[in-house]
Structure 1
């Protein structure tokens, strides 16, 4: 071992050509963008529908995933199964088909649109005549 420091001396010519120091947080944010999330109002409207359907005994569990390209709210009849429905928010589709969509277990898009309230109307119950 030597008594000399590991870092180069400031009076050496090599020290003036070193790379700039970047904070680790800035580096991570530039490499890994923040995931897409549901905003508070969006979650309120989704959870209101969820609560109504749980009250009717149709849904029992849910999961929320915040991915790099989209946010997904999955609804389950039983927790060990595939989701019955997925409510997705995909900002890349906002200018084209609409950022919000409801997708069935089979992968079929049931409804898509620019406003979440309009897309969630697919879960509105229609009154039936009971004889």
Structure 2
């Protein structure tokens, strides 16, 4: 049994002041994965996007995944500033809510903990026509 490696020592034990480090954990701690939209979140956002494209209000979009937040930007024309940004910031989840809708001016139109509630800002109110 002496020729088999000691697995406990190879994973986390120290010897004479040296430490064995798992490189996957080190890389994950040093360079964390970016924040992304999950499948259901993208489904809800793209449902609203499709409706607005059908109405002729939006024409293009961009998705950015950064370390702190994920951003879905919608455009009237691709060369312009985004009309709206739908942001997911997990650091704000316990406080104001992780989801935010921001307009071109940078004003927050709606913020909340649940994406479907936040996306209701794009629902148009029915008007009475005489």
Q: TM-score of the superposition, structure 1-length normalised?
A: 0.81
Greater C-alpha radius of gyration: 1
Unaligned runs of 5+ in 2: 1-14
Aligned residue in 1 for 2:68:
69
Q: Secondary structure at the match of 1:64?
A: strand
Which has the higher mean CA deviation after the structures are superposed, 120-129 or 104-113? Answer: 120-129
Which 5+ residue runs of structure 1 have no aligned equivalent?
1-15
Report the more deviating stretch, 21-30 or 83-92. Answer: 21-30
Report the more deviating stretch, 80-89 or 23-32.
23-32
- Cα shift at 1:22: 5.1
Is 1:29 matched up with 2:4?
A: no
Q: What is the aligned length?
A: 116
Corresponding residue of 2:121 = 122
Q: Which residue number in structure 2 is paired with residue 97 of structure 1?
A: 96
Per-residue CA distance 1:28-81 (angstroms, 9 max, x = gap): 222111111111000000000000000000000000001000000000000000
Distance 2:30 2:64 in 1: 20
Number of the residue aligned with 2:57: 58
- Distance (whole Å) between structure 1 residues aligned to residue 59 and residue 22 of structure 2: 44
- Structure 2 length-normalised TM: 0.81
Three-state SS of the structure 2 residue aligned to 1:86 is: strand
- RMSD (Å), alpha carbons: 1.7
Q: Does 1:87 align with 2:77?
A: no
